[in-house]
Chains A and B, each alone.
Chain A
Amino acid sequence: MSKACIQLRNGHKSFGETKVLCGVNFDLNPGERASICGPSGAGKSTLLRILAGLDPMDQGDLEIWGKPAHKIPPWERDLQFVFQDLGLWPSRTVLQHLADVLQNQGYSGKESKQMAGDSLKRLSLFDLASNKPHQLSGGEARRLAFARALIQKPKILLLDEPFASLDSDAKSLSQSWLAEILQQSDAAVVLVTHDETETHTLGGKILHLRQGVLHSA
Chain B
Amino acid sequence: MRSFALLLALTACSQKPDVVVYCSLDQVHAEPILALFELQTGLKVEAHFDVERNKTVGLVNRLLAEASQPYADVYWNNEVAHTIRLKRAGLTAPYQSPSAADIPPSFKDPQHHWAGFAARARVLLAHEKATQLPHFIQDIGQSSATSAGAMAAPLTGTTLTHMAVWADIHTPNFVFAWLQTALDSPLSIAGGNADAMRRVCEGDVPWCLTDTDDAAAAIANGYPVEMHYLGQSQSQPGVLVIPNTICLIADGPHPEAAKSFIDFALSRQVEEHLAAGRSRQIPLRPHVPTPPTMQIPGKQFLPMAVDWEEVATQLENILPRLQQLFTS
A–B direct touch in complex (beta carbons closer than 8 A): no
